[in-house]
Each structure stands twice: as structure tokens, then as C-alpha cells.
């Protein structure tokens, strides 16, 4: 299993202990948190290409969250691929955009992670079973009409 490195605050360079449920930091993406995700109950992503400035032509993934109380959508974080972004560029972008937390990519492959591999297999099997169950229910409804 991969070793966890503490994430650094984007503004102060301090240490931050990331919550355990997700695998963080990401192996192939630098992450820049703008707002605390605990306040949001739904998320959406958008991939964009930056035009102009120091980061012209770079691809970035923007994550939007819906606030649990107000239901308003806000930008919550950015993900930057290691293929397009160096750690220094991503860290600078995060600071420039008032990031509250920066996590550099680990560069470690998840292919060797047996837990992740087993989870992906279980998820695919679970999805197939649910689709089959739904198809059977639809067929039964057509027969009974």
C-alpha cells in the first residue's frame, strides 16, 4: 500500500492531515482545494483548457459542489494532471487562486493496489447484477400488461 504524505496548506505551507475514506493524494493529479468539501452534498466536474496568462494551454479539471444548505453550486477544487503540470506550476496556480490546501500527486501506480483492484471488480459486478435485475423487472411488467 502507498505511503501517505501529509498535505501542505497552499497558503501557509503548514501540515494538514487528510481524511482517510478517499485515497489521497492522487497518484496522477495534483489537487488544489478551494473550499471545504464537507459543506457540499453533490459534486460535478468540468474539464477546461486555460487560455492566456502563465498557464496558457494547460488542461485542468474543475470540481463544483452543491452547498448542502443553500443548494448553490460553487467551485470547490481543481485537479491538474501530472502530464500537463509540474508540481511547482500546480502549487503556484493553487496559490494564485486562493487555495486552502495543496496536495501534490504521488506518482504511484494504483495498479498494484489489491484493494482498489478488488473494489473495481466488485463495482463492475454489482452494476451488471443491478442492470440484469432491472431488465428482468421491465420484462415482467411487459408480460403482465
DSSP 65-121: EEETTT--EEEEEEEEETTT--HHHHHHHHHHTT-SEEE------STT-HHHHHHHH
Could you tell me the residue ranges of all domains in the chain? 7-112, 113-145
Which residues have C-beta within 8 Å of that of residue 127, sequence separation ≥ 6?
none
How far does CA 77 lie from the centroid of its chain?
A: 8
Q: What is the pTM of this model?
A: 0.60
Q: What's the pLDDT at 5?
A: 46
User: Positive or negative CA dihedral for 110, 111, 112, 114?
Assistant: positive
Task: Tally Cβ neighbours within 10 Å of residue 2.
Answer: 14
Phi-psi group of 98: left, alpha or beta (phi > 0 → left; psi -120 to 50 → alpha; rest → beta): left
Q: Which of 12, 13, 32 is nearest to 102 (CA)?
A: 32
pLDDT of residue 1: 41
In a structure prediction context, what are the per-residue pLDDT tens digits for the chain, which is 145 residues long?
444 444 444 544 444 444 444 546 788 999 999 999 999 999 999 999 999 988 999 999 999 999 999 999 999 999 999 999 999 999 999 999 999 999 999 887 655 555 555 555 556 666 777 777 777 777 777 666 6
Amino acid at each position: 500500500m502507498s505511503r501517505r504524505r501529509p498535505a501542505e496548506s497552499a497558503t501557509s505551507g503548514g501540515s494538514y492531515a487528510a481524511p482517510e475514506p478517499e485515497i489521497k493524494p492522487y497518484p496522477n493529479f495534483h489537487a488544489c482545494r478551494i473550499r471545504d468539501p464537507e459543506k457540499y452534498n453533490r459534486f460535478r466536474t468540468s474539464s477546461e483548457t486555460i487560455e492566456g496568462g502563465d498557464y496558457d494551454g494547460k488542461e485542468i479539471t474543475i470540481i463544483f459542489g452543491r452547498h448542502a444548505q443553500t443548494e448553490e453550486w460553487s467551485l470547490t477544487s481543481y485537479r491538474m494532471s501530472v502530464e500537463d503540470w509540474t508540481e511547482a506550476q500546480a502549487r503556484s496556480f493553487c496559490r494564485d487562486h486562493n487555495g486552502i490546501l495543496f496536495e501534490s500527486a504521488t506518482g504511484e501506480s494504483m495498479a498494484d493496489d489489491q484493494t482498489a483492484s478488488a473494489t473495481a471488480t466488485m463495482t463492475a459486478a454489482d452494476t451488471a447484477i443491478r442492470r440484469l435485475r432491472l431488465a428482468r423487472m421491465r420484462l415482467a411488467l411487459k408480460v403482465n400488461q
